[in-house]
A and B are shown apart, each in its own frame.
Chain A
Amino acid sequence: MATNKHIIHGVFGDEVPLMEACKKLRASGIRIKDVYSPMPIHGIDGVIGVPRTRIAICAFIYGLTGCGLATLMMWYMMISDWPNDIGGKPNWEYYFNVPAFIPITFEATVFCAAHGMALTYFLRCWLIPGAKAKNPDPRTTDDKFLIYLELNDEQKVKAEVILKDNHAEEINHKGSYVVEPKYTLEETH
């Protein structure tokens, strides 16, 4: 059986009623597709059910890469390929001169972690040069806050009541589309 999906924009003038509406929507089992806001709202990710970011894991891997690359580079340059000796240090072995290499190791670690994280973020959000703006309502870059919902018939009725009760300034219907089920019962049996 095909289901209808309705696209609804709940527009708010402030983030406090928006947060309340999000909590109520989630409590009644409605999935919030996204929230658009002109400024960061503290604690919104937990409220709208965004999973915990994994960028910290990326940062750790990038940092480890930077640390390793810097060590390899310094070992090759200063010890292996052309041993350098400036006033007695560094000499002979890498491990024996670790204090001299720590600043560069630290800088390279931070450099790789920071740049890697920024690039990952841009790629994940697809904020690349020439990318098209995905903003559903340009007013969210000024003074409006928006909840973006995609709902079936039954949820649509519930959501409209909740949005209205929580002082949504506008409830905009942005059309609907039909979702055909991938398999029907006849096909699977």
Chain B
Amino acid sequence: MNTEKLNFTVPSKARMFSFVLMAVGLLSIILMFLTDHVEGDENYHHTRAWSNVFAGSFFFMALSLAAAFFLGLQYAAEAGWSTTIKRVIEAVTMYLPWGLSFMMLLFILGQFHVHHIYHWMADGIATSGHENYDEAIANKIGYFGTFWWVRTILYMFGWLWFTLKLRKNSLEADKLDIDINNSFHWKNIKLSAWFMVLFAVTSSTASWDWLMSIDTHWFSTLYGWYVFSGMWISAIIAITILVVWLKKVGYMEFVSESTMHDMGKWMFAISFLWTYLYFSQFMLIWYADIPEEVTYFQTRWESYKALMWTVLFVNFAFPMVMLMSRDTKRNFFFLMFVGTIIFIGHYLDVIMMVMPGTVGHYWTGLSWMEFGNFFFFLGLFIYVVLNALAKAPLLVKNHPFLQESLHHST
């Protein structure tokens, strides 16, 4: 095995690419804030621009969080196939501190009424007689307000602690000289088991708190899983595309075709999980036809119909047809091509979660704002992840499943 190729250095082209993306994105964000207003609505406050920034922050934060979950899942299940790509998964999780910082910044700005993404953050929403008073929200205000902030901080610290600890243990294991030493592996298995428990609860509640509360009057118990499946598939695509790219520029020859085939299977399977949850939520609401529940889809059906169908088509029908066959899952070009399109599809899905609750009927269809903003976060994500990748060898040491993974074949 070529040991030189185990240490990754960020190619200058890739660095340049991420800087260009960030520059274009930043310019679009500035232009977006300058141009985004609605004639005759004093209370609009650049809502679409803020919602875009929010969607970008959330999507990439959730993606790296789901990568941390995926990493934890490999440990907890004692899975051997994924050991060769473990460093790539870890690199994706290293965006989490950045993503959470953006979220926190947006939450603080919201609390100080700079933007109006969260209706329940408005002044006097629970004060009887106030012009903003909303009885339905006033009844739930115990769950929002201070308690919401406590939860938010708990999620952030919990996730960060586990993610950074998993990474640290993995790097520590590399430093050991003894050939076979699994002590850090066992530590990570324990950590991961606890992280799974934390994640199972907080992924749902965080989705309710951060995304579902945008449509404050509406609620759905399935929502958390729906958000979770979306971020999981995005993480899997990000990891797959990274590995394919690394192979293309001459690294990671040790990743077998079967491992990539397995990533393709995950892509296919989680696309179906997403569809299953999306449709389950839709069908129950459509069938029961309860006014307080249908409002969610009513807004989307009226002002976002094209986007709604696009999301369903790109995230369900497209991967189903393209990734069904064994040959396409083993074709790196196909994996990259299909992955990129589903990745954008799931970003649009996040747009679908955020926009109708904030921008509402002012929506005029997808525009340069959505894409420009997406480019900024994508550029930053690429920059952070590639730098994290360069910090450690691409192949782990002292891992009990390393040999199994190197010889993995299906």
Tell me, yes or no, whether B362 is within 8 Å of chain A by CB.
Answer: no
- Which of A42, A56, A102 is in CB contact (< 8 Å) with B283? A102
Interface residues of B in 372-410 (CB under 8 A from A): 409-410
Which of B279, B282, B287, B325 contacts A89, CB < 8 Å? B287
The answer to whether B283 touches A99 (Cβ under 8 A) is: yes
The reply to whether the CB of B286 lies closer than 8 angstroms to some CB of chain A is: yes
User: Which one of A42, A88, A102, A103 lies within 8 Å of B289 (CB-CB)?
Assistant: A88
Inter-chain contacts of B282 with A (CB < 8 A): 99
Q: Bound state CA distance, A88 and B289, in angstroms? A: 9
Q: Is the CB of B289 within 8 A of A87?
A: yes
Minimum Cβ distance to chain B for residue A48 (Å) = 15
Q: Which of A87, A99, A103 has the largest count of B CB atoms less than 10 A from its CB?
A: A99
Which of A43, A56, A88, A103 is B409 in contact with, Cβ under 8 Å?
Answer: A43
Instruction: Give complex CA distance A88, B409 in Å.
Output: 53
Taking the closest CB of chain B, its distance from the CB of A110, in whole angstroms, is 11
B384 → A minimal CB distance (Å)? 37
Bound-state Cα–Cα, A89 to B410, Å: 46
Closest CB of chain B to A141's CB: distance in Å?
A: 24
Report A64 CB to chain B, min CB distance, Å. 13
Q: Are B283 and A100 interface neighbours, CB within 8 A?
A: yes
How many chain A residues sit at the interface, stated as a range, is 10 to 19
Q: How far is the CB of B329 from chain A (nearest CB, A)?
A: 13
Task: Give chain A nearest CB distance to B278 CB in angstroms.
Answer: 12
In the bound complex, do residue B410 and residue A42 qualify as a contact, i.e. CB atoms below 8 Å apart? yes
Q: Which residues of B contact A103 (CB under 8 A)?
A: 283
CB neighbours (8 Å) of B409 from chain A are 42-43
Please encode chain A, from 41 to 74, with 1 for each CB lying within 8 Å of some chain B CB and 0 for all others.
0110000000000001000000000000000000
A99 contact set on B, CB distance < 8 A:
279, 282-283, 286-287
Encoded as 1 (CB less than 8 Å from any B CB) or 0, chain A from 104 to 117 comes to 00000000000000
- The complex places the Cα of A121 from the Cα of B325 at a distance, in Å, of 20
Tell me, in angstroms, the Cα distance from A162 to B154 when the chains sit together: 65
In Å, the complex CA distance between A168 and B96 comes to: 54
Question: Does B287 contact A100, Cβ atoms closer than 8 Å?
Answer: yes
Q: Which of chain A's residues have a CB closer than 8 A to the CB of B410?
A: 42
Nearest-CB distance from B275 to chain A (Å)?
A: 10
Interchain nearest-CB distance for B67 vs A (Å): 27
* Cβ A102 vs Cβ B287 within 8 A: no
A contact residues around B325 at 8 Å (CB): 56
State A87–B290 Cα separation when bound (angstroms): 11
- What are the residues of chain B within 8 A of A100 when measuring CB–CB? 283, 287
Shortest CB-to-CB span from A155 to chain B, Å, is: 29
Q: How far is the CB of B280 from chain A (nearest CB, A)?
A: 9
Q: How far is the CA of A103 from the CA of B286 in the complex (A)?
A: 14
Within residues 261 to 309 of chain B, which ones have a CB less than 8 A from any CB in chain A?
279, 282-283, 286-287, 289
> Once the chains are docked, how many angstroms separate the CA of A99 from the CA of B282?
9
Closest to B280 in A: A103
State the CA gap A102–B325 with chains docked (Å): 23
A residues 101-144 touching B (CB-CB < 8 Å): 102-103
**How distant is the Cα of A42 from the Cα of B258 in the complex, in angstroms?**
11
Distance in Å: Cβ of B49 to nearest Cβ of chain A: 35
What's the nearest-Cβ distance from chain A to residue B296, in Å? 15
Residues of B close to A102: CB separation below 8 A: 279, 283
Min Cβ gap B399→A in Å is: 21
- B171 to A: closest C-beta gap in Å: 32
Q: Which 10 A-B pairs have the closest CB atoms?
A: A42-B409, A99-B283, A43-B409, A99-B286, A42-B410, A89-B287, A100-B287, A102-B279, A88-B289, A99-B282
Beyond A99-B279, A99-B283, A102-B283, 7 extra complex contacts between A and B, CB < 8 Å: A42-B410, A56-B325, A88-B289, A89-B287, A89-B289, A99-B287, A102-B279
Of the A-B pairs whose beta carbons lie under 8 Å apart in the complex, a sample of 7, sorted by A's number, is: A42-B409, A42-B410, A87-B287, A87-B289, A99-B282, A99-B286, A103-B283
Q: Which residues of B contact A (CB under 8 A)?
A: 279, 282-283, 286-287, 289, 325, 409-410
